[in-house]
Structure 1
Amino acid sequence: MTDPSQYVRERSGEGRRDVSYPAAPEALPVPVYDNHTHLEIEDGSSLSLDEQLERAVAVGVIGVVQAGGDVESSRWSAWAAASHPRVLAAVAIHPNEAPAYAAAGRLGEAIAAIDELAAQPRVRAIGETGLDYFRTDADGLPAQHESFEAHIALAKKHGIAMQIHDRDAHDAVLETLARVGAPERTVFHCFSGDETMARVAADAGYYLSFAGNVTFKNAQNLRDALAVTPLERILVETDAPFLTPVPHRGRPNAPYLIPVTVRFLAAELGLELDALCAQLAANTLAVYGSFAD
């Protein structure tokens, strides 16, 4: 792919979902950031990158961290960050992609490409990387572990944050971080653990990023985790176009819907909305640095 700006992929498994975008929520009183999104993925009636960012700014979401999951989407993420002052990038090989690269004999080549992208000034995180024991069978786990540890090394090498994808692999992820040493700024993207894991992660100095699924009826574990996470360790994200918060669950997600999740977090934590927004914004900047640089 010679022109990263032309890269786009469609969300799979549409079925009979309502793929129209929800109405914009009321704007937040203090601006925040979307800590993790995938704006290269088209879902339903697509919006351009400029349109996504304009909608977000209108409701007080003034920047996004655009995350890659393979070489091509990571190149697109780096391009988006270099092209737009409201975008920073995370680049990585997703744990579910690592086995395919390994099977083709290209995992080392792919990690080298991520290493090269990570040197760009507006690439501020390695992500999303980690372990996924839900979608990958036992044969693919060695490649996942090899890739995860290589990505940890890249985050340290470049002095940038790391965004972790952890699905059904909580103990293995925590063990790996403890054994090889976590990067200085480590984020559990779309945190999926429980209260006990939240305490362990926060005590280790990791950040917990909550997405729209914290609003789901069956996600009491996430609300329990939120309740014990120190405010200075909480981030918020969309993981768009996935995990759209209630009452829009199932429809396309986008950064402009962050206010729905933020208001839910404030209610759960018993905090004034403006105070939580200010804390979330400060946390984001502490992890990724200024969007203006």
Structure 2
Amino acid sequence: MENRHGTNPEDCKQYTTEKLRKDFLIESLFVPGEIKMVYSHYDRVVVGGVIPTGNAVKLDAGDFLKTDYFLERREIGIVNIGPKGKVVVEGETYELNKRDCLYIGLGKKDVVFHSEDASNPARFYFVSSLAHKEYPTKVLPIADAEPTRLGSDAESNNRTIYKYIHQDGIQSCQLMMGMTLLEPNNMWNTMPAHLHDRRMEVYLYFDMEVDARVFHFMGEPQETRHLVVKNEQAVLSPPWSIHSGVGTNNYTFIWAMAGENYTFVDMDVVKMEELK
């Protein structure tokens, strides 16, 4: 488990590109046969990736969390971004095709990741946050998720948003999770930008070509910076930072939030004239 501490926005103004990437960009989450995790001190979120190959992979953080097992005081949202796989939760099997989501609530001790075909393994992405109450384990296939279509070709942001874990979908303590798909020839996400000072957010960009890149914008509205992001890399977004991006072509990203408020309307929109 990699440990990432929080950053003061005043300090961030002085960061080099290397330091900015070290603190906020997760460059390698998916390693065949392994589970990779990053612990963020922003709302105690854990971001991870799993590729089960020859053997199944158990959800386990060793003694890093100082708990008896991973979900003793946590909940987790999992999205498969690759070929078909399954997650076995205390003996019960949940099959996940590409873009299907699984939520597992507080208190589940035994969670194991499997691929249907080890030669063409699943690619599980997950985000975990602290929890105070147990909610039921539930799977939501992408086919059953309600789509919300926003934007336009004229604005280069014609996109479809799927909400998985939220107040009107899969119930959770504080974790919220969903996915945004941009149509071909559309490259912008989350612009005009916004802030939500009571919650952090994390983006995973995927379904990108090898040479494609997303320029992810972050920082305070008057002190913006950018990160150049490759396929299957994630960005930690502090509560004080905008989170927006533009790609060299279209892409898909998973967004997840955790913090004090459990609502999508808890945001402060940043006017375009305020960005610098």
Range of TM-score over shorter length: 0.3 to 0.5
> More relative contact order in 1 or in 2 (CA 8 Å, sep 6+)?
1
As a proportion of its length, which structure holds more strand? 2
As a proportion of its length, which structure holds more helix? 1
